[in-house]
A and B are shown apart, each in its own frame.
Chain A
């Protein structure tokens, strides 16, 4: 494999993707580099009948083809299929950070085409890309290999982070388009997006409906179509609606509490905080002040609150 060979591009089978996992296939920066400096790093090919399979250098070869280059220098290898694929994976991993779509594609190929054991993939491959060797991560990445090209393109072009994309694996595939719309249009953080996925799952399980039915309900559908709200407002509204549906009793109690709380007409610098889940016996008082005068004023306010009968009603929530 150490000797360079002159290979005509017409001898290369570009349709054979046995060892290919690169996504996206085009790379403008690489294209500029090759146009200016030519092929510095030769691709690796493997003989396949009368033609050659690409082991590594797929993007470079596509650029060469596009540029009308007829012949290139390439290394030829005769290692077996799995070793050739592993070489391609290791070489690419060494040179650049693979994206989540490439990683899921590699895992899919290892599992289904090269018949590598799941335990071997978890132990030997996941750490290569900075993942912990966990079964859960493996399962998530396997599922993501089912993303369509259009869905990958949408996520990639919107520069959705890997930690968010991987949460898609927790949604059923038939709802991925909606979930991707949420990710791209509403821009939730990863934790909020994960929480949303849990809330949705619990609602559809409990109510025995499908995700599609839930998303086609007017009060949910309208949030997506709202032309006025900002992306974060839309997401917060969606979250609120779903939380109300998931936790109707908690919602009612909290609403009643907040109504009563509003009647206290507290300065915004003073907060009475109930224990989490109304579980416990003590409220907390939080107060921010700048100087002695302000502290004095708030102290008087607090004394007044202590005499207010509405406080008794709030305390009764515990």
Chain B
């Protein structure tokens, strides 16, 4: 795998106090020939300015803060009680719209070497009898580095100790080989961000094709994992209706509805500073030319509300033509949009209790009646 895999590091920088951690040692032994530098603290790495290494530089840290946090959501939007674990920060892919371009200080990949701390916190987040949804895909693609880091190999065995934690690995890759080595479990959700192939071609550089993602999802589902799909970001390209309906058709042609834990929908959202970055870096991208943007309460540009509602309804209707039970929710949307799309608030939709109600008792994934 490593010889074909395109995202091997060309430099490893290790925070001294993370050096003896088992996960750090695993990474170091996987790359015996890659130049290494040991530094006292992460700040020194920033000071020494290795920005030219960018996505090929792995910085292994001894992370001091909370490794599991509540998903910040956005001002004025409905929060879905998701927890995020940022064990890896940074992504090898080149999505035009990626907020990490604006969010991360450097292009380097930051990996928490002290995984033990994550496992310790994992046992603390589960509440007896109640479900917790946790994902590693906020500041990274959960599986992009899995062929070389084997993070899922580390995490999956621990999940047996925390049965009320539903763990989601969110990705745009098709790197599921490691997952298939383990026993599949509905407690583990493999989530794929999906978009029409034409968007993948233009604005999701380096990621797996739509067909590859769906094929990977099919393998994961057949192996016993739950799968999820995230229509995010939805982009209002010309003829968007048929493009997005095609994506829905492809998903349901390959995956039985009962294997789908949830489907989310979220439109493109861009901060003014990210807009400037996109304008500068991707002058040929049409991303900003599609749709009509207004500024939302949270300071991000989104499509004009009636357009968003139309986008969501179209995709929702396509999904509902296959399944009335698969939980579908909006990501970072206002209650006003929720109401217009679903004619209900999340709390009024029983199929969403798994997602929005933190007091829900786990009863396995939904079965199509």
- Judged by a CB distance under 8 angstroms, whether A10 is at the interface is no
Please pick, from A139, A198, A253, A280, the residue contacting B306 in the complex, using a CB distance under 8 A: A253
- What's the nearest-Cβ distance from chain A to residue B72, in Å? 19
Assuming the contacts A136-B280, A198-B279, asked whether A277 and B304 have C-beta atoms less than 8 A apart, the reply is yes
Give every chain A residue within 8 A of B25 (Cβ-Cβ): none
One of B34-42, B162-170, B284-292 at the interface: B284-292
- Judged by a CB distance under 8 angstroms, whether A187 is at the interface is no
Q: How large is the interface on A (under 10, 10 to 19, 20 to 34, 35 or more residues)?
A: 20 to 34
- What's the nearest-Cβ distance from chain A to residue B236, in Å? 10
Please pick, from B280, B302, B304, B336, the residue contacting A281 in the complex, using a CB distance under 8 A: B336
CB under 8 Å from chain A, chain B span 234-280: 238, 279-280
Give every chain B residue within 8 A of A81 (Cβ-Cβ): none
Query: Which residues of A are in contact with B by a Cβ distance under 8 Å?
Result: 135-136, 139, 198, 201-203, 205-206, 246-250, 253, 275-281, 318
- Judged by a CB distance under 8 angstroms, whether B359 is at the interface is no
CA distance A278 to B337 in the complex (A): 12
Please pick, from B292, B294, B336, the residue contacting A276 in the complex, using a CB distance under 8 A: B294
CA distance A85 to B304 in the complex (A): 53
- What's the nearest-Cβ distance from chain B to residue A207, in Å? 9
- Judged by a CB distance under 8 angstroms, whether B305 is at the interface is yes
Tell whether, in the assembled complex, residue A279 and residue B297 are in contact, meaning their CB atoms are under 8 Å apart: yes
Assuming the contacts A136-B280, A201-B289, A205-B286, asked whether A249 and B295 have C-beta atoms less than 8 A apart, the reply is no
CA distance A139 to B306 in the complex (A): 38
- Judged by a CB distance under 8 angstroms, whether B79 is at the interface is no
Give every chain B residue within 8 A of A280 (Cβ-Cβ): 76, 297, 336
Tell whether, in the assembled complex, residue B289 and residue A202 are in contact, meaning their CB atoms are under 8 Å apart: yes
State the main secondary structure of chain A at its contact with B.
helix
Query: In the complex, what residue of chain B is closest to A318 when comparing beta carbons?
Result: B336
CA distance A209 to B289 in the complex (A): 13
- What's the nearest-Cβ distance from chain A to residue B364, in Å? 38
Give every chain B residue within 8 A of A250 (Cβ-Cβ): 292, 294, 304
Give every chain B residue within 8 A of A318 (Cβ-Cβ): 336
CB under 8 Å from chain A, chain B span 159-196: none
CA distance A276 to B238 in the complex (A): 26
- What's the nearest-Cβ distance from chain B to residue A280, in Å? 6
Give every chain A residue within 8 A of B279 (Cβ-Cβ): 198
What 0/1 readout, one digit per residue, does chain B (326-345) give for beta carbons within 8 Å of chain A? 00000000101000000000
Query: In the complex, what residue of chain B is closest to A203 when comparing beta carbons?
Result: B289
CA distance A198 to B278 in the complex (A): 12
Could you list 22 A-B pairs, sorted by A, with CB under 8 Å?
A198-B279, A201-B289, A205-B286, A205-B289, A206-B286, A206-B289, A246-B292, A247-B304, A250-B292, A250-B304, A276-B295, A277-B294, A277-B304, A277-B305, A278-B304, A278-B305, A279-B296, A279-B297, A279-B305, A279-B334, A280-B336, A318-B336
